[in-house]
Structure 1
Amino acid sequence: MAGENAISVTGLGVRFRRNRRGRRSIKAIFSSARRRTPKGEFWALRDVSFTVRPGESIGVVGRNGQGKSTLLKLVAGVLLPDEGTVEVSGGVAPLIEITGGFVGDLTVRENVRLTAGLHGMSRRQVTDRYDEIIEFAELEDFQDTPYRHLSNGMKVRLAFSVVSQLDHPILLVDEVLAVGDKAFREKCYARIDELLAGGRTLFFVSHREADLKRFCTRGLYIRDHRLALDAPISEVLEEYNGDNERS
Structure 2
Amino acid sequence: MNAPRIRLLNVDLHYACSAFKQRSLLAWIGERFRLGDNRTQVADIHALRNVSVDIGQGERVGLLGRNGAGKSTFLKAVAGLYPISGGNIEVHGELRALFNLGLGFEPDATGRENILYRGLLLGATPTAMRAKEDEIVAFAALGEYIDYPIKTYSAGMQVRLAFAISTTVGGDILLLDEVIGAGDATFMVRAKQRIFSLIEQSEILVLASHDVGSLSAMCARGIVLDGGRLLYDGPISSAIEEFKRVSELSGNR
Question: What is the TM-score normalised by the length of structure 2?
Answer: 0.83
Q: Does 1:85 align with 2:123?
A: no
- Aligned residues of 1:62 and 1:222 also touching (Cα < 8 A): yes
CA offset digits 1:102-159 (Å, max 9, x no partner): 1111110000011112212122211211111111112223111211222222222211
8 Å contact from structure 1 (residues 171, 202) kept in 2 = yes
- Identity, in percent, stands at 35
Which protein is bigger by CA-based radius of gyration?
2
**Aligned to 1:40, what secondary structure does the other structure show?**
coil
1:26 alignment counterpart: none
Q: Which residue of 1 aligns with 2:143?
A: 140
- Which blocks of at least 5 consecutive residues in structure 2 are unaligned? 22-41
Q: Give the CA deviation at 1:192.
A: 2.2
Describe the shift of the 1:176–1:148 C-alpha distance in structure 2 as closer, same or farther (beyond 3 A).
farther
Q: How does 1:72-151 map to 2 (within 5 A)?
A: 72-151=75-154
The letter for the 2-side match of 1:175 is E
Q: Does 1:20 align with 2:19?
A: yes
Counterpart check, 1:217 vs 2:216:
no
Higher mean C-alpha deviation, range 111-120 or range 177-186: 177-186
Q: 192-201 or 235-244: which moved more?
A: 192-201
- Aligned pair partner of 1:157 in 160, 163, 166: 160
CA distance in 1, matches of 2:52, 2:190: 34
Q: Matches of 2:236 and 2:98 in 1, distance apart?
A: 21
Structure-1 separation of matches of 2:217 and 2:67: 22
Moved over 6 A (4+): none
Write the distance in 2 (CA, Å) between the matches of 1:176 and 1:142.
26
Distance 1:104 1:11 in 2: 40
RMSD (Å) for aligned C-alpha atoms: 2.1
The TM-score normalised by the length of structure 1 is 0.85
CA distance in 1, matches of 2:141, 2:213: 26
Take 1:85 and 1:151, find their aligned partners in 2: how far apart are those partners?
Answer: 41
Instruction: Give me the whole-angstrom Cα distance separating, in 2, the residues matched to 1:163 and 1:175.
Output: 15
In structure 2, how many angstroms separate the alpha carbons of the residues matched to 1:202 and 1:190? 16
Match of 1:9 in 2: 8
- SS state of the match for residue 120, structure 2? helix
Q: Which residue in the other structure is 1:198 paired with?
A: 201
Distance in 2, matches of 1:128 and 1:191, equals 19
Instruction: Report the residue type matching 2:10 in the other structure.
Output: G
> Per-residue deviation at 1:15?
0.7
Structure 2 partner of 1:30: none
Q: Structure 1 residue 66 and structure 2 residue 69: aligned? A: yes
Relative to structure 1, is the Cα distance of residues 141 and 211 closer, same or farther in structure 2, using a 3 angstrom cutoff? farther
Unaligned 5+ runs, structure 1:
23-38
Q: Residue 27 of structure 1 corresponds to which residue in structure 2?
A: none
Alignment match, 2:27 = none
Contact 1:59 1:220 in 2 (8 A): yes
Task: Tell me the residue number matched to 2:178.
Answer: 175
Shift of residue 44, structure 1, vs aligned partner: 0.8
